[in-house]
Amino acid sequence: MNIVVCVKQTPDTAAIVTVEDGVVSWGDAPVVLNPWDEYAVEEALRIKEAHGGEITAISLGPEDAKEALKQALAMGCDQAILISDPVFAGADTLVVSKILAASIDKIEGTDLVIFGRASVDSDTGVTGPQVARRLGWPALSLVAAISSLDPEGKTIAVERMLDEGRQLVSSPLPAVVSVVKEINEPRYPSFMGIRKASRAEIPLWTAAELGLDEISDPAVMWPDIMAPPKIETEVEMIEGETPEEIAARLVDRLMEEKVI
Ligand SMILES: Cc1cc2nc3c(=O)[nH]c(=O)nc-3n(C[C@H](O)[C@H](O)[C@H](O)COP(=O)(O)OP(=O)(O)OC[C@H]3O[C@@H](n4cnc5c(N)ncnc54)[C@H](O)[C@@H]3O)c2cc1C
């Protein structure tokens, strides 16, 4: 099974986001592997452990997106490729999906592409299905379990997690899946993995290397970005001599406020 995992570098979720004049800033927050993509990497590793093959992690982004790729390598991916070019700046998901699909085409022999459910910063959740559309491969989204995988017969069956329950879906390979956090528990990188990743050479593919002569302007524009309105909150400490007394007062207060 040859697997490509698409990973994005995102700010740490603990970062305090500010928006000023439509410009978003995460301050000095560290950038990390998009948390949803850790599940994608973990699932690729588990499939490789069961069926063999190679895992390639790819990321489209600036030079520092290499850090996300290094984390994927430290977890156990075999190789990583950074896709970067100044002409990619400001791309929307239509453009990003075109570039990622061209990269997957260039890798050749891919059986399965795995995405996280969404990125924690832009959070559109559409990149995986758009890449599938561009490749002409089936898109299996919100996957909470891979129920069966037959590399010889080239088929996959998955459980999709929906609000109403789970749905069993099957398709031929190659296919594109996006995974939710219920699928697994991502492993911590091993010491050896971290050492290997720190020494790894990560090749860089540009627009020219992908044969993308023309990068279209984004169709989806972001004319403005607003921070959510400030919410005023009051804190009231409920006190009492015993836990029973505190609980009784808390219940009274919640009833007064019509919460219960
Ligand atoms: C400076 C800047 C300007 C932007 N301007 C616009 C704009 O004008 N209009 C607009 O629509 N968007 C804009 N974007 C957003 C950008 O297009 C999205 O970040 C990108 O399309 C991916 O979408 P997403 O982050 O919502 O990913 P999602 O679709 O939420 O991510 C799903 C999964 O796709 C994969 N993935 C996502 N991004 C990448 C990546 N780069 N490399 C590899 N895998 C990836 C990961 O597995 C991820 O879990 C801008 C972003 C930046 C940084």
Class of domain 2-205: alpha beta
pLDDT computed for residue 166 by the predictor:
95
Find the 122 Cα to ligand 1 centroid distance in Å.
Answer: 6
Q: Are 103 and 83 in contact (CB under 8 A)?
A: yes
Supply the pLDDT for residue 68. Answer: 95
For residue 126, which atom of ligand 1 is closest to its CA?
29
- Over residues 53-101, the pLDDT tens digits come to 999 999 999 998 999 999 999 999 999 999 999 999 989 999 999 999 9
**Ligand 1, atom 15, residue with closest C-alpha:** 92
User: Are 31 and 142 a contacting pair, CB within 8 Å?
Assistant: no
Residue position matching structure tokens 């996300």: 68
CA of 8 to the centre of ligand 1 (A): 8
Per-block mean pLDDT, blocks of 10 residues, the chain (260 long): 97 86 84 96 98 98 94 98 95 96 97 97 95 98 97 97 95 98 97 96 97 89 84 92 96 93
CA distance 231 to 217: 37
Give yes or no for residue 11 CB within 6 A of ligand 1: no
Question: Where exactly are the structural domains of the chain?
Answer: 2-205
Output the CA–CA distances (angstroms, integers) from residue 102 to 58, 132, 260, in the order listed: 12, 11, 55
